[in-house]
Structure 1
């Protein structure tokens, strides 16, 4: 695979997502009764994700060795899963300044930000959000950007270029959330390295699930944590937490990539 083809796949995926969203929006949005709007909002990302990725797989004739992948699920090493959990905690702590970037800039300019307030969401909305972020997104994104794209690129380019290219494209599909660009870029690089070392896509899917689950829990039930972070006012403790995140990431990656039995998984 060439870098141009990888770029084309990513652009086309985004176009398909937008087209499906706009198409559904034009067709049914105005005719939806008010009590069904919450279902419409929750189902849109699920529908666009399923149709979008399956369309890309069909157009570019992307297929996977499902039997081999199922066999590797049975060989998952729980020790590695434990280190993936440590990685998840590290990523959560590391990502915080990137999501707080505008608030940090405001703080440095003497602008007072409003205290964090967590909005309560209906249970059905949480179910839709959880299905999308915790199940669908991790599986589809890992299959396309790690299992397929990174693997194909590495057959033509150097490992570093293949990792960077697939990770950048993975990051760009998360636009327009600009605050998420660097975290997703770094996450993509980490996933490529783990997949390279383990040859088992199950591990990156698990990491992706854990990372998104962490976001989901804090986004919906982490008011105390966010108020504590906000109250630090970006002081030494705030940046120490950031440093702890980096330490946990490096520790987790070292353990995963150097474990004696990692290659047998």
Structure 2
């Protein structure tokens, strides 16, 4: 697959998702009755349905597979050590992410010499959390990893080098998480790590688990947003804050090193990795 086609497929995915999501919302509103779905239900259902239909269309049209297939989730050479390193990597990655999401507060702190912290209350709608759990823990990790890693990387590898395939697939993955520009760098970095996991282990299920772990931490932080953010920002970006970031770099490096060397003695991805 060419780089241009990979980008076009990603844009098609984004357009298809938005179109399906709007269609689902339109259907609900068309048949709106006195006892109807609330906005939380509407938003949650439309997102999940949009996810599933959009990816299924691409799988069927471009990948030409029946989905799901047991072979996609079967681990041939199960290694408990890899699962442990996935947990280590995911924790490290979350620690690295913190300054990226705090960029506006970092600029405020270093510009003014202090951070104006007010205790903020983050209200979480229980219905929203249920739909978010279904979307980010069950649906997104499976569909996104199958498309961006098992499909896109393998297709790109047929005409491009490893590094090029990894960077392009990661960039495409970042594009679908462009709700805000601040998501681009973390999503791109995650895409590279998840791609490395897939290339080195040859097992898509490891990438799916890694993705689910990262999203699980997001939900945990979301539920405890008030206490967590108050604690983090009251550190005022002191040595503890940056020590945690450095710890994250170490944990991520160790996890990547162990996982990428775990299968060096194994055969390469059949007919795709040179």
Is this a same-fold pair by TM over 0.5?
yes
Match of 1:125 among 121, 125, 128: 128
CA distance in 2, matches of 1:226, 1:263: 44
Contact 2:94 2:248 in 1 (8 A): yes
Residue 223 of structure 1: how far off its partner (Å): 3.4
2:186 corresponds to 1:183: yes
2:193 corresponds to 1:209: no
Structure holding more helix per residue: 1
C-alpha distance after superposition, 1:222-243 (max 9, x if no partner): 5333221111112222122111
- Where does residue 60 of structure 1 map in the other structure? 62
2:87 corresponds to 1:85: yes
CA distance in 1, matches of 2:97, 2:16: 29
- Where does residue 272 of structure 2 map in the other structure? none
SS in 2 for 1:109: helix
CA distance in 1, matches of 2:64, 2:48: 21
CA distance in 1, matches of 2:265, 2:144: 23
Residue 260 of structure 1: how far off its partner (Å): 6.3
C-alpha distance after superposition, 1:57-99 (max 9, x if no partner): 2232442793433432x64311110110000110110001111
C-alpha distance after superposition, 1:2-45 (max 9, x if no partner): 11111111000100111122333344348465762221122121
Residues 39-54 of structure 1 correspond to what in structure 2 (within 5 A)? 39-54=41-56
Q: 1:262 to 1:243 in 2, by over 3 A?
A: farther
- Equivalent pairs counted in the alignment come to 263
C-alpha distance after superposition, 1:161-203 (max 9, x if no partner): 0000000010011012211111110110011111111100111
- Where does residue 157 of structure 1 map in the other structure? 160
CA distance in 2, matches of 1:202, 1:160: 22
Which consecutive unaligned segments of at least 5 residues does structure 1 have? none
Residue 114 of structure 1: how far off its partner (Å): 4.5
Contact 1:94 1:242 in 2 (8 A): yes
Q: 1:249 to 1:155 in 2, by over 3 A?
A: same
CA distance in 1, matches of 2:74, 2:179: 37
CA distance in 1, matches of 2:105, 2:62: 42
CA distance in 2, matches of 1:22, 1:222: 30
Q: What TM-score, normalized by structure 2, do the two folds share?
A: 0.88
Contact 1:256 1:262 in 2 (8 A): no
2:229 corresponds to 1:240: no
CA distance in 2, matches of 1:14, 1:204: 22
Contact 1:232 1:238 in 2 (8 A): yes
Match of 1:227 among 217, 227, 230: 230
Residue 251 of structure 1: how far off its partner (Å): 0.5
Residues 9-20 of structure 1 correspond to what in structure 2 (within 5 A)? 9-20=9-20
Which consecutive unaligned segments of at least 5 residues does structure 2 have? 268-274
Superposition CA RMSD, Å: 2.3
